[in-house]
Amino acid sequence: MAETSAVQRAALRKRRVALGLVAGLVFATGQAPLDLWYLALPALASLFWLLFRAAGAREAGWTGWAFGLGYFGLSLSWLVEPFMIDAAVTGWMAPFALALAAAGFALFWTWPAWAALRLGVPWLVVPFWALSELARGYILTGFPWGLVAYVWAPTGAVQSLAWIGPYGLTLLTLALAAVTGRGLAKRSVRLAAPPVVFGLALALGGAWLVPAAETSEDRPVIRLVQPNAPQDEKWQRENARLFFDRLIRATGADGTPDLILWPETAVPMLLNQAGEALAVASRAAGDTPIVLGIQREADGAYYNSAVVLDAGGRIADVYDKHHLVPFGEYMPAAWLFRHINVSGLAQRAEYGYSAGPGPRLLDLGPLGQALPLICYEAVFPQDTRGTEARPAMILQLTNDAWFGTWSGPYQHLMQARMRAIEQGLPVLRAANTGVSAAIDPWGRITASLGLGETGFVDAPIPAPRAPTLYAKTHDWPILLLLIGLCGAGVLARGRNRIDAGSGPV
């Protein structure tokens, strides 16, 4: 009889872990391009229902890991795309890369569930998880892609980013889901209903915080150029002239923009060798300055750079990308891969970019100063700060051809919208294959050129809003709050143990 009961308990644990995996898959549908937030949030609440019914810390940990595995496995499915650019060399790594990434990032969602139940304080899973999400943005250079907070991206709730930032909204989201899950576990409508109502009010009411679109007649105009060069053709010698001609035609097209923005690595040669190409670009632009993406070499090091060409065609300013993509732009532990000679990785270890010194502003003359972000840097909230002055705009030069044609480019665009809201600044985005877009300080896309389109779009540059609270305080208030909550939970658990152990002698 006891043996039968043990078998039944084991089967129940497996079912709960399997349900955690399914819930994680559904939660991933809240990310772009599906944006099914109204399905994703109940899936998150169902995870907490499973955790609060878990038989112990081990089951909770496995359930949390399964949830993360499902979530990251689907939401990061675009990770296979870079490996398929040169499929003969690196294609074999694609499924392993996705599996390892999903399993690894799921660990950030495993330990909060395990630790909270191990301590006997189930509500601690909320601050533990929020703290783990914050850590995910920094550890080993960080990877804050697909934060919990982004499930709100299609709704007005994201306007709260201007006050509490992405980690504050993550904490709030987890708290609402946890209370709902607790109510479901206790079969208490009185407990489950209030967070649902609050969440709906947050999603629908946040839109009231956004003012009507401003008139743009007197605003300077930026031209966002999109050459649409597929990644597997972009660096082929026979195609280089074709894609460069697309850039030149778009640059010289009718209109009088005040600034022209080209994508990341738009010029197919090193800056040191690009004098003639830059002269052609400057002549096409007339009296309009250009910010363009190009690679450069200095003292044997190579950089992924953004260069400002002034109205006279002179190089007025240079920014070198400082937050590089591991395994894409540089090889961590390159010596190891050379030593063990892993096919594909060993070849990549022989080259790569060097990191620039950090965030800095580009001087655009009458247009003011701009903060440049090259591709992946727009994923990091911390990369929009660290400069001495506040910029008038954020310029993102990116090549999203690396991310394929389904989820990756749209998730990258969504995160650029989040940076605009957090900082209260317009984001102007030129993407090689799309989506190029002008984004106002409330995260609204005011003009765009779609994925896979060739051409340009002229867009008024939205005016910045006043500095947001988050722009002033960064992540410090949330970090201190999380440390306080975690500490209070651990101390409360300790006091309870002391009280339980003391009694009449």
Band (pLDDT 50/70/90 cuts) for residue 396 is very high
Q: Give the whole-angstrom CA distance, residue 373 versus residue 368.
A: 16
Query: 293 and 438, same structural domain?
Result: yes
Residue 34 has pLDDT above 60, yes or no: yes
First to last CA, the chain: 40
pLDDT tens for 39-55 read 999 999 999 999 999 98
pLDDT tens for 141-200 read 999 999 999 999 999 999 999 999 999 999 999 999 999 999 999 999 999 999 999 999
DSSP-derived 3-state class of residue 429: strand
Predicted local confidence at residue 504, as pLDDT: 42
375: annotated active-site residue: yes
CA atoms within 13 A on the CB side of 293: 27
pLDDT tens for 99-145 read 999 999 999 999 999 999 999 999 999 999 999 999 999 999 999 99
- Average pLDDT over every residue of 325-335: 73
Q: Per the residue annotation, which of 133, 321, 329, 422 is the catalytic one? A: 321
pLDDT tens for 265-321 read 999 999 999 999 999 999 999 999 999 999 999 999 999 999 999 999 999 999 999
Q: Per the residue annotation, which of 59, 375, 422, 486 is the catalytic one? A: 375
Which residue is associated with the tokens 């590089």?
324
Query: 416 and 390, same structural domain?
Result: yes
Among 102, 169, 196, 120, which Cα is nearest to 381's?
Answer: 169
Query: 183 and 65, same structural domain?
Result: yes
Q: State which amino acid sits at residue 219.
A: R
Predicted local confidence at residue 347, as pLDDT: 43
Residue 330 has pLDDT above 90, yes or no: no
pLDDT tens for 222-276 read 999 999 999 988 988 889 999 999 999 999 999 999 999 999 999 999 999 999 9
321: annotated active-site residue: yes
pTM for the structure as a whole: 0.93
Predicted local confidence at residue 505, as pLDDT: 35
Q: Residue 249 falls within a domain, yes or no?
A: yes
Q: Residue 462 falls within a domain, yes or no?
A: yes
Q: Give the whole-angstrom CA distance, residue 437 versus residue 419.
A: 14
Band (pLDDT 50/70/90 cuts) for residue 503 is very low
Query: 349 and 459, same structural domain?
Result: no
Q: Give the whole-angstrom CA distance, residue 476 versus residue 482.
A: 10
Q: Are strands 369-374 and 393-398 parallel, antiparallel or unpaired?
A: parallel
Query: 372 and 273, same structural domain?
Result: yes
Q: Residue 239 falls within a domain, yes or no?
A: yes
pLDDT tens for 409-445 read 999 999 999 999 999 999 999 999 999 999 999 999 9
Q: Residue 465 falls within a domain, yes or no?
A: yes
Token pair for 251: 């640059």
Structural domain count, the chain: 3
Q: Residue 216 falls within a domain, yes or no?
A: no
Query: 374 and 350, same structural domain?
Result: no
Q: Domain of residue 348: give its range.
A: 328-355
77 CB-near residues (< 8 Å, 6+ apart): 98, 406, 407
Query: 104 and 36, same structural domain?
Result: yes
264: annotated active-site residue: yes
